[in-house]
Structures are given as structure tokens and as C-alpha cells.
Amino acid sequence: MIESNVDSQITRCDHTYPEGGWRANLAVLGAFIALFFSFGQMNAFGTFQAWYAGHQLQHLPASTISWIGSLQLWAFFFSGAPIGRLFDEHGPKGLMIAGTICYVGSMMLTSVCREYYQYILCQGVLFGLGVGLLFYPSLASISTHFSKYRATAIGIAIAGSGLGGVVYPVVIESLFEHIGFGWGVRTIGLSSGVGCAIATLLVSSLSTHNMPGPYFDIQTIKDTRFALLAAGSWFVALGLFIPFFYIVDYAKHISVPDHTSFSVLAVLNAGGVLGRIAPAYLSDTIGRFNLLTPAAFLSGLTCITIWLMARGLTALMLFAATYGFFSGAFIALITPCVAQISDFERLGVRIGMLYSIISFPSLFGGPVAGALLTRDHGRYLAMIIFSGSTVMLGSLFILGARLLVDRRILARV
């Protein structure tokens, strides 16, 4: 593998990365815990989608219910730019305290919701904002401690979201069945709030509090590498989360028993745990962009091959594990790739800008999939093709960004 000169190009300041030590390691641990309880539960929205379809919101079509999960993603992603800018100015603590309050508050309010618009506001918008306030400061803080091993450190932290996605579907379904929806949601909210508070204490940043910059930096868009990476991520986000929303419903569609169908989502997230760690570790050796592109492409490919042909539980479990691995790799690698082409003092803004840009396809992806499902009278063919093809299209733009960073095919980028 040829050594790329990109590292010398992207650190144009005097910041020294310790690459370890107790503060750095505690920051990784804190981020892991924060993502377990926040993004991990967001990964489990398919459990709520299936529950609502059979209980509180059973009078509504799947595409309408999915707006709750889509608004979670939109609020989470769109908040990235302002949160990133505030991180660059103030650091992580205050943001994560606010995130914990929003998170617990949203769960308490969701537990007493009765009308559709209440779920939209409480579980959709407020919960997504709470996750954003916990997610972005955690990962941006890690980027101030690590450069050479940044992808590995962030991959370990993001594995928390995958592990949370394994645990939450099983726990949520069990609580709903045994103590009911209201107390089940309150139990989850209070216990998760304790975890988020612990994470807030552990996460620290080495960033000096910079002078405030713009919330949306036009100069960043003029960077063609960033623009192509953002365009590719836009198309990937349009289809990437559709399996997380609809895999439980699809399992029921092919006659998988109800108690087993929720396990399919857990397997999908379990695949994501390994996908968030192993490729991230390898990327610090062979290049982050070198793995981001195939991770995106193979995520889409598994949709239009394995998922499209899955007619039984074994094949669906195979898809869930495989898709979880590749989609998890993409989620783990996108932040280190942004950091790789960014100056230290603008890490928060640029990471946040990318997530804000992809907030809109994340908002519409689930409802579009639901609309395709309704149009085709419950047949999943068009929805699966839409999910896989948009992710594969996005991988081509990401490949363009990689070639702009270094055109040498064997360079470590």
C-alpha cells in the first residue's frame, strides 16, 4: 500500500494528538456509552414501527407511521451543523447535558402520547434532537484525541450504537408485553438517562474553545472532496435506513413468528457491531476512503441480491447480518473521512455540516419506502430495489471523492 500525503495536508495547525492516555480512552468509553443508549435506541425504531402498526396507530398506513422514525433521523442529522459549531466554541459537556435532558424528556412524553401528532413531536423531533446532542460532541471529542488511530477509536465508540441496537429491540418488546407501553417506555427512558449522564462525565475534549465560526461554512462546500463525499452520503442516506424501519414488518410478511421477527432486527444490529469495529481498525492501516466506498456499495448490493431473494428466516437472517456489517462499516467510517479532509479547528462544523446535508434524504427515505409498499399492495420488490440502488449510486460519488484525495489506486487514503 502506497503512503498517501493526505495527512500532511489536513492538519494545518499546531494541535498535538496524544493518540491515547487515560483522558482519551475515557472519552472513547464515554462515547461508546452515549451511543449505546442514544443512537442504539434509534436503531431499534423498527420495533416501535411494528408495535404501533398493531396497537396505538393501527388505523394508519406504514408510510404514515414511518414519519416518526424519519423525523427522528432528520432532527438528529439536521442538528449536526449547529451542534458542531457550538462544540467548536464550547466543547462537549453542556451539549451532552442538554442532550440527556431532551432524551429523557422525550421518552417520558412519548409514554403518555395518544395522538399521532404527539408521537411526531415527542418521539420524532425531540428524541432526534436529544440523540444529536449526545452523538456529535462524543465523536468530535474523540477526533481531538486521535489522528493516526482516529477511525479505530471512533469505530469502537460507534459500536456502542450497534450493541444498543441488539439489546433494545429485545428489551423493548419484552417490556411492552409484560408491563405495557407506557411503563415500558418510562423504564427505558429513566434507565437510559442514567447511562447518558455517566457518558457526559467521561467525555472530554482537547479542543481549545475557538472563536465562533459560521453555522454553515460556504467554503466547505467549495471543497470538491467534501462536496462529492456529501453528495454520495446524501444518496446513501436515502436508502440506508429503510431496512432498519421495515425488516421486522418484512419478517412478518414472510410468515416469521412475531416473537422471532423482532430478533431479525437485533441480528441486523449485531452485524453492525462487528462492522463498526473491524473495518474501522483496518482503515487506519489501508485507508479510510479505501474502505468507505466498498462498504457503501456492498450495503446496496446485499439489498438487491440477498434481501430481494429472502423467502425464509435463514435467508433473512443472512441478509440482516451481512447488511448490518456493511452498513455499520459505512456509519463508522464516514466521520473519520470527514475529519481526514478537515482542519482541526473546524472539525465540529464540517462533521455537523455533512450530517445536516444528509438529514433531508433521511427524512424522506422511510416514507418513500412506505409509499412504494402501499402502491404495490404490500409487495416489497420496488421498496427493496429503491433502497439498494440509491445506496449503490451514492458509493460512486464517494469513489469520486476518494480519487480527488489521491488518484493513485494503491494509495492509503
| 8-49 per-position pLDDT tens digit | 333 445 567 777 789 999 999 999 999 999 999 998 898 898
95 against 211, higher pLDDT: 95
Whether 12 is in a domain gets the answer no
Cell of 12: 494545518
Whether 238 is in a domain gets the answer yes
| 363-404 per-position pLDDT tens digit | 899 889 989 998 998 899 999 999 999 999 999 999 999 999
| 215 has pLDDT over 70 | no
Q: Which of 211, 72, 86, 78 is nearest to 137 (CA)?
A: 86
Whether 165 is in a domain gets the answer yes
The CATH number that applies at residue 111 is 1.20.1250.20
- Give how far the C-alpha of residue 341 lies from the chain's centroid of Cα atoms, to the nearest Å: 20
Q: Which of 53, 71, 46, 17 is nearest to 263 (CA)?
A: 46
Domain residue limits at 391: 2-6+17-412
Whether 11 is in a domain gets the answer no
Per the structure, the count of domains in the chain is 1
- Give how far the C-alpha of residue 329 lies from the chain's centroid of Cα atoms, to the nearest Å: 11
pLDDT at 196 (0 to 100): 97
Cell of 369: 419506502
Whether 183 is in a domain gets the answer yes
pTM across the whole model = 0.83
Whether 257 is in a domain gets the answer yes
pLDDT at 144 (0 to 100): 86
Whether 341 is in a domain gets the answer yes
| 165-195 per-position pLDDT tens digit | 889 998 998 999 999 999 999 999 999 999 9
